[in-house]
Structure 1
C-alpha cells in the first residue's frame, strides 16, 4: 500500500472521484516538477477505497516496488468527498522520517497538503507546534510495534512518518459532519499517536481532538500546552478521579515538576484547589512557585523523604520523572485513604517492541499486577496513565487559561527550519517547560533566550 524504501517520499491519500478531477487538472504542473503518479499493484482486490500515490522523483530513487504508472487514466475512488471546500489540493512542507534513528533521519520535504477525507476531519494550518519527549522517542522507533498494528501496516510500511503530537493553528477546511468549529477559527489540538503529523505546515485531526484555543494566548504560547494538558488530564481526571469536585484542600505531589508535564500539572492541580508539592532541581524552585506550587523539594536532597513528609502525606501522586521514585512514593502516600499513585513511566510499549503484542502485553500486565499489589498493601492504588486526545479537556483548559489560571511555560522557541535543533534540545533533557517550533513565523518576542516574559 505504501512505499517503504529509504529516501522515497510517498504521498498516500484516500480520495474521491471528484478530488481526482481536481488533481488531474494539476497533473501537467506536477509533471513540470518531475513528478509521476503511481498506483499500487499490491493492493488487495477487496481494498476500499483505492489510494492515489504520488512520488516526487527529486527524492524517490525509483526503488519503489509493486507500483506502476497510471499516466492519464482516472482513478475511481469509492470514498465520499467529505470536504466543505472546493479548493484544489496544494503542496506543502513537512518534517518527515524515512527510517528510525537519531536526528539525522529528520528531513524537510515537499509533500501534498493533507485533505479532509472523513466527515469529522478538520484541516489545520499549523502556526506553531511543540516537540515533546515522546516525539524524540518515536523518532527512534519507540512504540512502533503497537502503532503499526493500529495502522494495519507491516514494519517499515509506515514510512514516511511526520511526527508531532500537538499544535496551534487556523482551520482551513472541515468535514461535513463538523459542527463545533468552522473555517478561520483559531484552534489547538493534540492528535493521536497513530496519525501524529503536527511537525508540518498542515495537519488533519478529528474534531474530537481539538477545541478553540484561548483568546489571550498567541499560537506559540498555545502550542506549548495541548499534549501536556491531555496527559495531565488523563492521569488526574480520568485515571485517579482527582477532579475539581474533590481536589479542594487535598495534597498532591508531582515527581518531575519542572518539565513540560510538571509545569502544566502544578498549575492544573492548583487551579482545582489542591495543595501541590513538586520535586525538581533547586534552581527551578522560583519557576515552580510562580506557577503555583505550595512546596518545592530538591530531588537530589539526601533528606528528601523527611522534606516530603514535612507537611503530611499525599492523596494523589503523579510520577513524571523516573521509575526509581516508586519506593519513595509508597512511603509518602496516604494509607488506607483511597490515595492514588499514577505514573507516566510504564514498560508497556517497550515490552511490546521487544516481545511483540501478545508476550509484551502479558509481561506488562504482570508487572502492573505486582506493583498494584505492592501499593494495595499500603492501602493505596497504583495506576498507569497515557496521553489520550481529548477535545473536552482542551476546552476546559482553554477556560482556565483565559481566566489566567494556566500560563504557558516555554523554555525555548525554534524556527521551523531548525526543528532538528528543537529535537536535540528536548533529547538533552532538563528543560524548564516546553520547547516550541514557530512554523508560520509568528513573533516570538520574549522567548529568544528561554526566559518567557510571563514569569519575569
Structure 2
C-alpha cells in the first residue's frame, strides 16, 4: 500500500538516514533494505551460538546513556513451556528505552519481575529474528521460523543477539516485510492500538466516520495510529512538523497541520469537533486550546509510572487515581473525558496489527538504521527527537 524506499541522505544528521519516496521499487518485499553502513572499525564481537554466550547492550545501574555497555553474557534459557528462544536479527528503539536507562518504571518492573535480578538490564522492546528453541507447549512455531514480536517492560530486552519471548506476543514474519521493517512495529503499534481501541473504546464502537485528531503524528506511534484509523474508516486529522505533512497524508490522514504555523490552533479547530484527540506529542490536557472541541482526550503521557516510581506501587496507584479525577472533574460537565493510553502486551492487539500488515493496510515507517555497535549513537539520536518513524538496529551489521 505504501511504497517507501530507504535511501542514504547526506544532508541528514543521522548516522544512517532515511527519507520517504513513493516511486521505484519497494523495500517491503522480504529482502533486506539497501543501506550503506557507516564505515567503522570492526569489533571483535562474534555471534554467540558457538560458546553459548552472546553480546548484548545492557546497563548495570540507572543513570544516563553513559551507563550503556556492550556485555558478553550467557545465552538466555527457556523457563516456561510457552516461551521461544529467538536469534535476534533486528531490534528497534523506543522512547521508553531511554527513559528506563534513567530509572523510569523501576518500581513497576521490580514488581512484575517478582524478585528476579534487575541488573544487568538489557533494553529494547521490539524484535525480529529466527526461532532457535521453544517450550514444549509452543504449537504454532517451529525451529527456523522467521518471526517478529514484542517484550513487556519487565523482560530482558532485544538489544542483544538472543532473547526469550512469549509465543502470545510473537507472530510469523510476513514475507512482505524484511527483518528491519518487522522489528519496528509492535511496541508502538500496541501503544496506538490500546490507546484507540481500549482507552478510546473503538473495540466496542464503529470508528467509521469518527473524527480523530492525532498530535505528534509523524512519530512511531502516530504513523501507525493514522494507518489503523484509516483502515477502520475514520476521518484522521494530523498535527506534525511541516516536513512530515506529505508523509502523514500518504499514510491516510485526510488533513494535516503544521504545529509551528501561526494559525495552527485556529486551523485545527476548524477541522473539529473531534470524537477523539490522541496526544502523541506530550501536549497534556492542561494545554488543550479552548477552541478545540472533543469528546475524549487520550494522552500517552500518563503519570501512573512516574507516581509508582515516586510513591511505590500502592501509593502510586492512589496518586494516579487522584490525578485522573482531578483531570476529569471539570471536563465531565462539558461532556468531555481525559483518558490515558498505555502500551498493552495483549495477544488480541498483536493479532489486530498482524492482520492489518498482511492486508497491506499497515506499513512501517523507518527513520534510521544502525549497526549493532552503534547502539549508543542510536540512543543519542533518539534523545534529539524530531523523528519520522522509528530507529532500528541491524544486529548483524
Secondary structure of 1:315's counterpart equals strand
Name the residue aligned to 1:186.
Answer: 146
Name the residue aligned to 1:390.
Answer: 346
2:192 to 227, 232, 240: 232
1:290 to 247, 250, 254: 250
Larger relative contact order, structure 1 or 2 (CA cutoff 8 Å, min sep 6): 2
- Cα contact 1:96–1:108 (8 A) shared by 2: yes
Give the direction of change, closer, same or farther, for the CA distance of 1:161–1:295 in structure 2 (3 Å limit): same
Give the direction of change, closer, same or farther, for the CA distance of 1:293–1:164 in structure 2 (3 Å limit): same
Indicate the RMSD between aligned Cα atoms, in angstroms: 2.0
Is 1:309 the counterpart of 2:269? The answer is: yes
Name the residue aligned to 2:365.
Answer: 409
- Cα contact 1:122–1:174 (8 A) shared by 2: yes
Alignment partners' CA distance in 1, 2:285 and 2:335: 18
- Cα contact 1:129–1:438 (8 A) shared by 2: yes
Name the residue aligned to 1:100.
Answer: 62
- Cα contact 1:243–1:272 (8 A) shared by 2: no
Deviation at 1:233, TM superposition (A): 0.9
Q: Cα deviations across residues 336-357 of structure 1 (Å, max 9, x unaligned)? A: xxx3221110111112222222
Deviation at 1:181, TM superposition (A): 1.8
Q: How does 1:157-236 map to 2 (within 5 A)?
A: 158-236=118-196
Name the residue aligned to 1:422.
Answer: 378
Deviation at 1:319, TM superposition (A): 0.8
Q: How does 1:6-405 map to 2 (within 5 A)?
A: 90-153=52-115, 158-243=118-203, 246-324=206-284, 326-328=286-288, 331-334=291-294, 339-405=295-361
Structure 1 unaligned spans of 5+: 1-86, 442-456
Alignment partners' CA distance in 2, 1:355 and 1:364: 10
Deviation at 1:331, TM superposition (A): 4.4
The higher radius of gyration belongs to 1
Deviation at 1:325, TM superposition (A): 5.3
Alignment partners' CA distance in 2, 1:193 and 1:118: 18
Deviation at 1:243, TM superposition (A): 4.2
- Cα contact 2:100–2:106 (8 A) shared by 1: yes
Name the residue aligned to 1:4.
Answer: none
When the two structures are superposed, what TM-score results if normalisation uses the length of structure 2?
0.83
When the two structures are superposed, what TM-score results if normalisation uses the length of structure 1?
0.73
- Cα contact 2:194–2:341 (8 A) shared by 1: yes
Q: Cα deviations across residues 78-136 of structure 1 (Å, max 9, x unaligned)? A: xxxxxxxxx99811111111111222111111111112111111111111000100000
- Bigger mean CA offset, 123-132 vs 290-299: 290-299
Deviation at 1:270, TM superposition (A): 0.8
Deviation at 1:330, TM superposition (A): 6.4
- Cα contact 1:215–1:402 (8 A) shared by 2: no
Deviation at 1:176, TM superposition (A): 0.7
* Number of equivalenced pairs: 349
Alignment partners' CA distance in 1, 2:284 and 2:90: 34
